[in-house]
Amino acid sequence: MKELSQIDNAELEYFSFGTGKHTLVILPGLGTRSILFAQMMITAAYKTFSTDFTIYVFDRRKNIPSPYTVREMARDTANVMRHLGLRNADVFGTSLGGMVAQYLAIDHPDLVHSLILASTTSHANERILTISERWASAADCGDLASLTEQFTKLLYSASTVEKFGSMLAHMNDGLTEQDLRRFSVQARAIQTFDAYGDLECITCPVLVIGVKDDKVLTGEASEEIAAKLGCELYMYPNTYGHCVFDEAPDYKDRIMHFFKSNQSIE
C-alpha cells in the first residue's frame, strides 16, 4: 500500500506491507528517485519479515526545501509516524537513512524500540564530504553519465558490477529536474550532519553493521559509532560494497535475528 502523508505542509511518500504485530520502519539511503520506484523490489526483499512485522518504508519529503538538514528529515519522519500512530518501532536505517535514524532515536526516543544503523556515519567525515559534493554537483549540472558512473563505482562490489553492470548503467535513465534537485539537496544535507556529540542520548538497543572498506563512508565510521555507543558491531569483509545490505546473502537473517532478540518474537 502506497500513501502520501501531508503534515505541516510537508508531503512525505511512504508505503507499507506485512501483517505482523510489531512495527518495522525502514529508512533508505540517498537515492535519485522516490522510494515508490523501488516498492516492489523492497517488498520482495523483506517478504520474510511480513509475518512478524508490519513494515513502513519512508521517503524524505516530496516538496523538499533548500537547505534541508538531516535533523529536519528525522523531524518529518517522526511527525508522520505519530500521525500514523507508530510508536516503539524497530528502525532499520541505511546510509543517509541511518543518519536520519540516529536523530530519530536522539530526538524522539518514544518512537524507537531498537535500532540498526547500516553503512552509515555519525558525522560528515572527509570522504563523504568529497563524495557528496561530487554527487550534488553532477546532479546540479544534469550530468547523469557522471552520476551513474560514480554510483556504480562506489556503491557496489566488483562482483555485483560484473553481474549487473549493464542494468546499473541505466539506473538513472529518465530522471527529471525535480528528481535531480531533491537528490542534490539531500546530498548537501549530509555535509552539515554531525550527531556524534548526541549519540549518548540513544538508549535503545543498537546494532551497527558496516563494511571494512566502505568506499563512501569508510569502515571506521561504523566502528566509531559502535565504540561511542558501546553497542554490538558487525563488519563485513571488503568483498562487499557500501550497499552490502543488498549484496550479502545473510544480511536479512542478521537483522531479523537482532530484532527478534529484542522483541517477544519466536
Within-domain flag for 167: no
Q: Are 135 and 150 in contact (CB under 8 A)?
A: yes
Please state the pTM of the whole predicted model.
Answer: 0.95
Within-domain flag for 212: yes
Q: What is the pLDDT of residue 193?
A: 98
Q: Extract the C-alpha cell encoding 130.
A: 568529497
Within-domain flag for 93: yes
Within-domain flag for 159: no
Within-domain flag for 165: no
| Sole residue written with cell 554527487 | 135
Q: How many CB atoms lie within 10 A of CB 220?
A: 15
Sequential pLDDT tens for the chain (266 residues): 556 566 666 789 999 999 999 999 999 999 999 999 999 999 999 999 999 999 999 999 988 999 999 999 999 999 999 999 999 999 999 999 999 999 999 999 999 999 999 999 999 999 999 999 999 999 999 999 999 999 999 999 999 988 888 888 888 888 999 999 999 999 999 999 999 999 999 999 999 999 999 999 999 999 999 999 999 999 999 999 999 999 999 999 999 999 999 875 54
CA-based nearest residue to 234, from 213, 251, 262, 210: 210
Q: How many CB atoms lie within 10 A of CB 262?
A: 16
Question: What residue spans of 58-112 are helical by DSSP H?
Answer: 70-84, 96-107
CA-based nearest residue to 134, from 121, 120, 119, 153: 153
Within-domain flag for 256: yes
Q: Extract the C-alpha cell encoding 15.
A: 508505503
The 3-state DSSP class for residue 219 equals: helix
Q: Extract the C-alpha cell encoding 86.
A: 507508530
Query: In total, how many domains does the chain have?
Result: 1
Q: What is the pLDDT of residue 80?
A: 94
Q: Extract the C-alpha cell encoding 19.
A: 501483517
Q: What is the pLDDT of residue 172?
A: 86
> What is the DSSP track for 83-97?
HHT--SEEEEEETHH
Within-domain flag for 209: yes
Within-domain flag for 142: no
Domain extent, residue 106, equals 2-123+193-261
Could you report how far apart the first and last alpha carbons of the chain are, in Å? 27
The CATH number for 221's domain is: 3.40.50.1820
Q: Are 119 and 188 in contact (CB under 8 A)?
A: no
Q: Are 92 and 24 in contact (CB under 8 A)?
A: yes
Q: What is the pLDDT of residue 266?
A: 44
Phi-psi bin for 174: left (phi > 0), alpha (psi -120 to 50), beta?
A: left
